[in-house]
Structure 1
Amino acid sequence: MPTSALLDPDEPLERQLDKLGRICDALMRRVEQAGDDRGAAYTQFQRAVLLEDKVRERTRDLERALDLLNESNARLAAANRETERARSDLANAIETIQEGFALFDPDDRLVLCNSRFGLNLPDLRGTLTPGLPFEDYVRLVSRSSHLDLPPGTMPEEWAVTRMARHGEPHVMLNVRLAGDRWIQVSEHRMAGGQTVIMQTDVTDVIRAEREEQGRLLDDQARLIRATLEHLSQGVCIVDKAGRLAGFNLRLGTLLGLPLQQLRPGLDFEPAFRRLLAEATPVGTSVQDVLGWTRRRDRRPPLRFGLHRGEAQWLDVSAEEMPDQGFVMSVTDVSAEREAARALSEANEMLEARVASRTLELEDALAAAERANASRTRFVAAASHDLLQPLSAAKLYLSSIADELGEPLHREVVTKAQNALSSVQDIIEALLDISKLESGRASAEIRPVALGPLLAQLRDEFAPAAALKGLRLVVVPSSLRIMTDPSYMKRILQNLIGNAIRYTDRGGVLVGARRTGLGVRIGVLDTGPGIPEAEQENVFKEFHRLGRRASASEGLGLGLAIVDRACAMLGHPLTLESVLGRGTAFTISAPRAERIGPYPIESRRTGATGEWRHDGLTVLVIENDLDMRRALALLLRGWGVEVLDAGSGAEALRLIEAEGRAPDALLVDFQLDEGETGTAAIRRLRRRIGRVPTRIVTANRTPEVLREARRIGVELLHKPLDPLMLHLFLGSVTLGRPG
């Protein structure tokens, strides 16, 4: 009997200990009484007691595990009930949605859908069961009798197109059903790979859009109709089948057609043939026009004229529309044609009057040139004849002065000699001007060292400056220029002499500095300055400022000689003056270090055809076409490549097209549309930089001269002197890199 059967766990502990003590005493007595067999039995008894304890422990573990299992089953049952309730709630919720709803799992198999999902396709309701593959669903839809496929589309093609869009994350498409009903299908891919499809009935929306579109089209048609009726042109619209689709009343009025011959749906070609029978096409033929209307490929724009009756001229233009129809407009240009005819007659009359007046002006100009040439020849001859007796008179006076003993008599002879010297200087100046104006002056252009020339001038004028208490500063220079040494010396003599003559205090500065490929020689004084209004007049003969007309102080020929000599040499001359502060004359000449021998003959010959400037490219900007042509013809005769334009903008386009810059510019001052030559030169300089430039103008006002000098450009006056142009081109040739 096991010990556990003898002990009751519910008994008091003392009772249980007492029982255990008696059991132990009984067992000890039995051990003492028994032999070896009884010892083995006791061992088995102990093993049985231990085994019973283990069994009891395992039984308790199993009981606890069973309790846990029962608890888990209870929880699982509760969870299943919650799941079923959630599934039921989800199904109820999906069922309450007004749109069709379906859910496909990541493997594209149907999980669930509501009853509205198959409402629009009743023949698919029995097939919409869980597990249905999406591809089978699409195939069933494509074959449904309730699906209204687009014309010419087979079910298989629709299914392929639908499956191709299934791979997109979001799909939105409208599907047309039988009975003019529409559903909008929205397909969305979820993050877990599931696909949700919503079907919405949009029939009412699409029908409303159709009605609104119809109203808009009606409004547009009325608007187009009203617009056509308000046009001064006649307009007709022809569809791609060649039938009249629309027109305005002005069309019938212009073509002289009764309204019963113009109606929608009218075949255009017979009506147009009847029209051409009463009118004469201008610029095309009947067959060409009809051939254009019959074409089915891309039609180019068509334009031609119609002449009806004696004085009616119509301009017809036609263009193709996107639907392969065309629109044709008819404009009455009779008034314009009559005005053009009258204008042509007026132009012919005006041209005849201009030609007659031009001949008169040419005769007057020729007479003036002959008179000027006679005056120049007379001055030259008279000056030459007067120099010899003056020289003899001076010799006689010199011989008398040596024999006179009275100081008073010697003073009188000295004054007479000075007067004769002044007269001789004036005659020589007149002779120089005569030579420069007549073109008989010649220049020998060669390298000239400025250092010795400036030193010689310093020694020559130092006594005169010291006599007036002035400082004469001549800056030494090692530069060499290309010029005529005699004329350059005469130019600087006149400028320095004038500066000393008109300066009462301060001094005179003479110097040269390098500028690009050239040299600028300046003569600056601290005299009273020249008023701006008089700066152009100082270069005129016999013009003097603020001085008595005394021969001993000159008669104002020095600057006239300077101006003409610089023009002949092609050396730009500039004048800057500030009243009360002084005046600065500047002469620009090409530098000799960067150039070779002078390439042209710088003297006037009997024929301008002997002048050559091969290799030069000159851009001529002149708005007068005849002047531009004449100048281009003259330049090309000298071997110049000419680029001619009528405006600054056209010149820029011409340079862009040529891809290179010209060597020189000849720009008219007054261009079209208010553009000036100086403005055109500034625009060109921003594109090609600074190149040698002359402004050609008949305007001799000081304003034009100031504007030209402000941008550093000299003037060539009209009528253009070929010599001045030739000398300018010669200076351009000198300035080109060797």
Structure 2
Amino acid sequence: MINPDDPLDIQVAKQARIIDALVQRANRQHELGTSAYGAFQQAIALQGQIWAKTRDLERASTELEQVRLERERSRRNLADALAAMEGGFALFTDGRLELWNDLFQTLLPDLADRILPGLKIERYFEALRSSAHLRTADPVTIEVVREARRAMVGTAALSFTCELAGDRWYQFGLQRTSETGIVILQTEITGIVRRNRSEKENLIDRQAHYLQAAFDNMGSGICTFSGDGAVLMHNDRFRDLLGLPFTLLQKGRALSEIMGFIQTNGLILESQALDFELWEDRLNRQGRVRKRMRHVSGRMLDLHAHRLPDRGFILDVRDVTLESRLTEMLEKRVEERTEELTHTNRRLTAQYQAQARVEEELRIAKEKAEAAVRSKTRFLAAASHDLLQPINAAKLLISTLSELARGGTLAPTVERLEGSFTSIEQLLHALLDISRLDSTQSAVSPSDVSLGPLMRGIIADQAPLAARKGVQLDIVPCSVFVRSDPRFLLRSIQNLVVNAIQYTDRGGRVLVGCRRRGDEVVLQVWDTGMGISKEDQTRIFEEFTRADNVPPGSGMGLGLSIVDRTCRHLGHKVAVRSKPGVGSVFSITMAVVPGIARPCADRRPVAAETGPADMDLIVLLVENDADVLFATTQKLESWGASVLAVSSTAAALQAVRDIGMPPDILLADYQLDGSDTGLEAIRALRQETGTSLPAIMITADHSAELVRTGARMGFTVLTKPVELSRLRPLIDWKTRARRSAPAESLQ
């Protein structure tokens, strides 16, 4: 019947109603006239229940009184705390005013009678906004209530500042305390606002003082004007430069008055410079005005006017008298100097014209010299074939003559003839190489070159010379690839090896090998020859220069110059180390081509025995030069070969048809008569015979393109004059390695 969760006052009320009901029931039963004894028993039981309920009621009343007293004490403490607060405080629960302090009620006197329990918070802000004591009502809107209700519990929702009558300032803060509770705090910040205002005014006053002090210490005159032309601030220099009285330049004085005083007293000689309307128009359009004026005192003044952000302007007057005088003096000196320069210019013009004539003559002479060089280059290039043809024939004939005269009385003479002819051949090769390297066109054609076959070929060519000199010639094999021109690199290494053999005495040694140094390889030629002094090492790479200890008749001194030119063209580094009486080391440093490990296409042996055994071969020789054809035929027949000597492709085809079988090998010159070439001869004969006929191209053409064509078509290129020490081993190797293959078309 009684819920223990109900408040105590409700439980006490319910117990009182129960007791009243029991008493009334007892009275009714007594009136009905039940037995006295039963009535007595019921009365006793009822009395016990009444006493128990009475005790419960007294205990509940005591507890209720204690709770009431505690609540009253808490309300008094809260009221005392709110009263002690320096700011206003109000608690709104479910949007209605529940608790507040006196300052909140009396802050705005015209709202005091509206601060009542149950006041809606929206009504409060409407009344606040309409208060006559509120000077700034912009932040006081109903929107602040909405923002406060959207804020998180326990956080400051909104804060704004309001100015009240009497220059009082309060900060209003709204804070959400629970789901339904909002607290308004009113904190007075009048002292803070007034202090900040005072500090701001003091700062402005100090800045004005500092600005005035800066103006007073400037070398130029400064005066600022407001937008309507009134004086704001100036320094004494401005007044002194313009010659104005102290009383005229007072704060608030109009610019028109100052201009009128200047015009009346004639302080500025140029009257148009004082037209302020023109100044104002230019200030509005350009933002600045600059004028140079002459003062009545003789001073030259520069006046600058600049527009300020507040539509006012500032005048800056500077004394430029000294600068003006210097300018006039300089202008005068410039005029004098101009007259001198004009006179000098006339004289130089005459000299220039004379120099131009000389330069034109020099240009013409230079063009003639360049034309002569080009003509020389073209001549040597064109004549190289014609020069090498007879040399090749003579070399073959001398070789044949040497074999015929061996052991006879003519042998020494033939040997001297061969030596002299070798010198002529070397000199011719040197001149042709220098001509090619000095040509205007690119003389070198770099490609990936394997040093192994190159070095072995040079050793094979120079082995006979080393044998005749009694010098031991050795090689350390090397298989790296470098980026170089194969023809000029071969000529450079050959020159170094020939020099080493030539200047090494009998019993000495020459060693050719390579050393790896990181990404580079150093090709070295060591010898145990006479050596070179320090002085001579700096000049031996010049043309026609030889060391002082070289005996007469040892050459023209062109070999090392060709090596130096070639290395400069190819980007190689050439160096020498030597000691007189000990020997020399010449080296060429080249960059290694990475990632190349392919074998050399030409696998012929370095050297071969050239004994008296007969060459049992049918050799088809195609050569249009009669002397070369005769000399080569003689040499091949001396080796035991059967030679079919013809001068054209057509004659070669007819010779093959006549014998009814393909020859063992074809030797062909590149340049034949007319449009006929050795390439056409190789292609036609392979097509005619239906075999991959072994072929060797003997030519004076040194182009890399011909070598690449030979690699593509399967023939070997030998340059004229041909080295016999390489020709016979090459013929033996190509005929031994002959195997059947389909004819290749020339593309």
Q: TM-score, normalised by structure 1?
A: 0.51
Partner of residue 84, structure 1 = 72
For residue 133 of structure 1, what is the aligned residue in structure 2? 120
Pick from 180, 188, 192 the counterpart of residue 201 of structure 1. 188
Cα offset, 1:170, TM superposition = 3.6
Q: What is the aligned partner in structure 1 of residue 54 from structure 2?
A: 66
Task: Give the corresponding residue for 1:695.
Answer: none
2:145, 2:358 → 1: CA distance? 91
Match of 1:586 in 2: 590
Q: Does the residue aligned with 1:475 lie in a helix, a strand or coil?
A: coil
- 1:508 maps to 513
Deviation of the 1:110 alpha carbon: 1.9
What letter matches 1:188 in structure 2? Answer: Q
Give yes or no for contact 2:97–2:119 (8 Å, CA) kept in 1: yes
Give the partner amino acid of 1:143: S
Letter in 1 for 2:54: L
1:473 maps to 477
Distance change (3 Å), C-alpha of 1:115 and 1:526: farther
User: In the aligned structure 1, how far is the partner of 2:568 from the partner of 2:61?
Assistant: 122
Report the counterpart of residue 691 of structure 1 in structure 2. Answer: none
Name the CA distance, whole Å, in 1 between partners of 2:503 and 2:254.
95
Aligned-pair CA distance for 1:290:
4.0
* 1:401 to 1:86, Cα distance in 2 relative to 1, 3 A: closer
Kindly indicate whether residue 284 of structure 2 is the aligned counterpart of residue 294 of structure 1: yes
- CA, structure 1 residues 508+94, in 2 after alignment: closer, same or farther (shift >3 Å)? same
Three-state SS of the structure 1 residue aligned to 2:69 is helix
Distance in 2 (CA, whole Å) between partners of 1:210 and 1:431 is 100
One-letter amino acid matched to 2:52: R
Q: CA deviation at 1:181?
A: 2.1
Are residues 132 and 293 of structure 1, via their aligned partners in 2, closer, same or farther at CA, if it must alter by over 3 Å?
A: farther
Contact 2:90 2:104 (8 Å CA) reproduced:
no
Q: Deviations over 1:673-719 (max 9, x none)?
A: xxxxxxxxxxxxxxxxxxxxxxxxxxxxxxxxxxxxxxxxxxxxxxx
Deviation of 1:63 (Å) = 3.2
- Whether the aligned pair in 1 keeps the contact of 2:90 and 2:185 (CA below 8 Å) is no
Deviation at 1:138, TM superposition (A): 2.0
8 A contact 1:105–1:111 mirrored in 2 = yes
Residues 1:226 and 2:213 are matched in the alignment: yes
- Cα deviation code 1:591-624 (max 9, x no counterpart): 99xxxxxxxxxxxxxxxxxxxxxxxxxxxxxxxx
Q: Is the 8 A contact 1:576 1:584 kept in 2?
A: yes
Contact 2:567 2:574 in 1 (8 A): no
In structure 2, the residue corresponding to 1:105 is in which secondary structure? strand
What SS does the aligned partner of 1:226 have? helix
| CA distance in structure 2 between the aligned counterparts of 1:206 and 1:537, rounded to whole angstroms | 94
Distance in structure 1 (CA, Å) of the matches to 2:436 and 2:380: 13
What is the alpha-carbon distance in structure 1 between the residues aligned to residue 316 and residue 472 of structure 2?
88
2: CA distance, partners of 1:69 / 1:578: 131
Residue 104 (structure 2) pairs with residue 117 (structure 1): yes
TM-score normalised over the length of structure 2: 0.50
- Max radius of gyration: which structure? 2
Mapping of residues 475-624 of structure 1, within 5 Å: 475=479, 486-487=487-488, 489-491=490-492, 493-494=494-495, 507-509=512-514, 523=523, 540-541=542-543, 548-549=549-550, 557-558=558-559, 560-562=561-563, 564-565=565-566, 571-574=570-573, 583-586=587-590
Give the Cα–Cα distance (whole angstroms) in 1 for the partners of residues 549 and 591 of structure 2: 28
Aligned mates of 1:412, 1:269 — CA distance in 2 = 123
Runs of 5+ in structure 1 lacking a partner?
A: 1-44, 150-154, 296-300, 593-738
Identity %: 24
Report the secondary structure of 2:203's partner residue.
helix
Is 1:172 paired with 2:159? yes
1:212 equivalent among 172, 192, 199? 199
Q: Secondary structure at the match of 1:129?
A: coil
Is the contact between residue 495 and residue 523 of structure 1 (CA under 8 Å) also seen in structure 2?
Answer: no
Task: Give the alignment of 1:593-672 within 5 angstroms.
Answer: none
* 1:527-583 deviation line (CA, Å, top 9, x unaligned): 999999999978654677x88455777676445434545666xx4445689999984
Question: 1:302-328: per-residue Cα shift (whole Å, max 9, x none)?
Answer: 57764556997969585763x555667
Residue type of the partner of 1:89? N
Give the Cα separation in 1 of the matches to 2:130 and 2:435.
111
Aligned partner letter, 1:218: D
Out of 373-382 and 56-65, give the one that drifted further.
373-382
1:293 corresponds to which letter in structure 2?
A: L
Partners of 1:121 and 1:144 within 8 A in 2: yes
Q: For 2:116, what is the secondary structure of its paired residue?
A: coil
Following superposition, the deviation at residue 185 of structure 1 comes to: 2.7
2:176 is aligned with 1:186: no
Offset of residue 67 of structure 1: 1.6
Matched residues in 1 for 2:132 and 2:221: separation? Answer: 52
Q: For the residues of structure 1 that align with 2:170 and 2:204, how far apart are their CA atoms?
A: 25
- Secondary structure of the 1:144 match is coil
Equivalenced residues, count: 515
Name the amino acid aligned to 1:145.
Answer: A
Equivalent positions of 1:150-169 (< 5 A) are 158-160=140-142, 163=145, 166=148, 169=156
1:56-455 → structure 2 map (5 Å cutoff)? 57=45, 59-97=47-85, 99-149=86-136, 158-160=140-142, 163=145, 166=148, 169-191=156-178, 193-231=180-218, 237=224, 239=226, 245-248=232-235, 258=244, 264-265=251-252, 290-291=280-281, 293-294=283-284, 306-308=291-293, 318=306, 321=309, 323=310, 418=419, 421-422=422-423, 425=426, 429=430, 432-433=433-434, 436-437=437-438, 439=440, 443=443
SS in 1 for 2:134: coil
CA-CA distance at 1:75 after TM superposition: 0.7
8 Å CA contact 2:536, 2:548 repeated in 1? no
Distance in 2, Cα, partners of 1:52 & 1:552? 174
Q: Describe the SS at the equivalent of 2:131.
A: coil
Could you tell me which residue of structure 1 aligns to residue 26 of structure 2? Answer: none
Q: What is the CA-CA distance between 1:218 and the residue it aligns to?
A: 1.8
CA distance in 2, matches of 1:279, 1:533: 85
Corresponding residue of 1:36: none
Sort the Cα spacing of 1:522 and 1:104 in 2 relative to 1 into closer, same or farther, 3 A: same
Q: 1:535 to 1:302 in 2, by over 3 A?
A: farther
Contact 1:524 1:583 in 2 (8 A): yes
In the TM superposition, residue 523 of structure 1 has moved relative to its aligned partner by: 3.6
Residues in 2 aligned to 1:563 and 1:105: alpha-carbon distance in whole angstroms: 105
User: Matched residues in 1 for 2:355 and 2:39: separation?
Assistant: 151
**1:432 and 1:156, CA in 2 relative to 1: closer, same or farther beyond 3 A?**
closer
Q: Please give the secondary structure, in 1, of the residue aligned with 2:207.
A: helix
Aligned residue for 1:473, secondary structure, equals coil
8 Å contact kept, 1:252–1:259: yes
Residues 413-444 of structure 1: per-residue CA shift (max 9 Å, x gap): 967975775576457535643564464x6749
Q: CA RMSD in A?
A: 6.6
- Counterpart residue type for residue 180 of structure 1: D
